[in-house]
Amino acid sequence: MGDLVLVPRNERFPGDWRTLLGLTQPQLGSLVAISTSMIARIERGEVKLTDENARRLAQALDIEIDELVRSYERARNRPAGMQA
């Protein structure tokens, strides 16, 4: 998937990490016991990323929690109209 998802590590949003693993939102949600709609809202930076959700997601995505939080903050602070 890394050959198809050409987003530099320091520019990735949470959905990019999921895509790199070949997971859909429902699949990731099932792995971490978070609803698909909540996964979508987290990926878009529309809801608060709790410590527990960050821990679960980072573990499932095989990245450090800090890296997940940085990608979440990028999604949350992206310019209006830019997709996450």
**pLDDT on residue 83:** 74
Cα separation, 52 vs 43, whole angstroms: 15
DSSP string, 5-62: ----GGG--HHHHHHHTT--HHHHHHHHT--HHHHHHHHTT-S---HHHHHHHHHHHT
**pLDDT on residue 40:** 97
pLDDT band at 79 (very low <50, low <70, confident <90, very high): confident
Question: Quick check: pTM over 0.85?
Answer: yes
pLDDT(39) > 60 = yes
CA angle 58, 17, 39 (to 5 degrees): 70
Among 4-13, 14-23, 50-59, 67-76, which is the least confidently predicted range? 4-13
